[in-house]
A and B are shown apart, each in its own frame.
Chain A
Amino acid sequence: SQQGEEDPQALSIQEGENATMNCSYKTSINNLQWYRQNSGRGLVHLILIRSNEREKHSGRLRVTLDTSKKSSSLLITASRAADTASYFCGGETSGSRLTFGEGTQLTVNP
């Protein structure tokens, strides 16, 4: 069963704009992770937020977590054409089991 469910499925923006992707999950998690996947490649870890954290920053990335709503958001500020990729959230449960959603396809137009 899928743990994460991303919204929107696809997002197209202009370079320099901010991109926001949302994720909802079903069961209790230890942490939530965001990954990027370029076409034909494996997933690349972006950021991890623990269940007792509410917000985390890393460079141009900002992640929030609301455990009461079982939801998370990923904000990419000042987007670049190189940010074009699919983005997946994954909830990690006890036993280090990471389950992903279907992803958001982000297109950043130059």
Chain B
Amino acid sequence: EAGVAQSPRYKIIEKRQSVAFWCNPISGHATLYWYQQILGQGPKLLIQFQNNGVVDDSQLPKDRFSAERLKGVDSTLKIQPAKLEDSAVYLCASSLEVYPEMGYTFGSGTRLTVV
């Protein structure tokens, strides 16, 4: 079974530029999550999708962050414009509710550096 795929692996941009991250969850996983992990901290949930609908985006800074999950499969997370404090690893995860014992499957993340 293929894991959660994320790209790019690394990205360096200047502040005020825009950036987009892509995630392909495990096939058949209806729920998809984007987490932000600042160095030395735990992952913080940004947004949760169920199929192609948003379940929870209460922690998403909507003035600069946006996310979509077209057709209920792939997802993109965009930041525009980026700030220095957005430097972090952006993790995508997916889960299958009928098998909660399996937990969430995470991708390797995209490390973003804003300079």
The interface of chain A, by Cβ under 8 A from chain B, is 2, 4, 31, 33, 35, 40-46, 48, 88, 92, 95-103
Contact = CB atoms under 8 A, between A and B. Distances in A.
A43 B41 contact: no
Given A42-B4, A42-B107, A97 B102 contact: no
Contact of B48 (A46, A88, A97, A101): A97
Given A48-B101, A95-B56, A97-B48, A42 B91 contact: yes
B45 A97 contact: yes
A48 B101 CA distance: 6
Contacts, number: 61
Task: Bin the interface of chain B by size.
Answer: 20 to 34
Nearest to B30: A96
Contacts of B115: none
Given A42-B4, A42-B107, 13 more contacts: A2-B42, A41-B108, A42-B91, A42-B106, A42-B109, A43-B91, A43-B104, A44-B106, A96-B50, A96-B55, A97-B48, A97-B55, A103-B41
B103 interface: yes
A35 B103 contact: yes
A45 B48 contact: no
Contacts of A2: 42
Interface of B: 4, 31, 33, 40-45, 48, 50, 55-56, 91, 93, 95, 97, 100-109, 111
Contacts of B104: 33, 43, 45, 98
Nearest to B102: A45
Contact of A100 (B42, B97, B109): B42
A88 B43 contact: yes
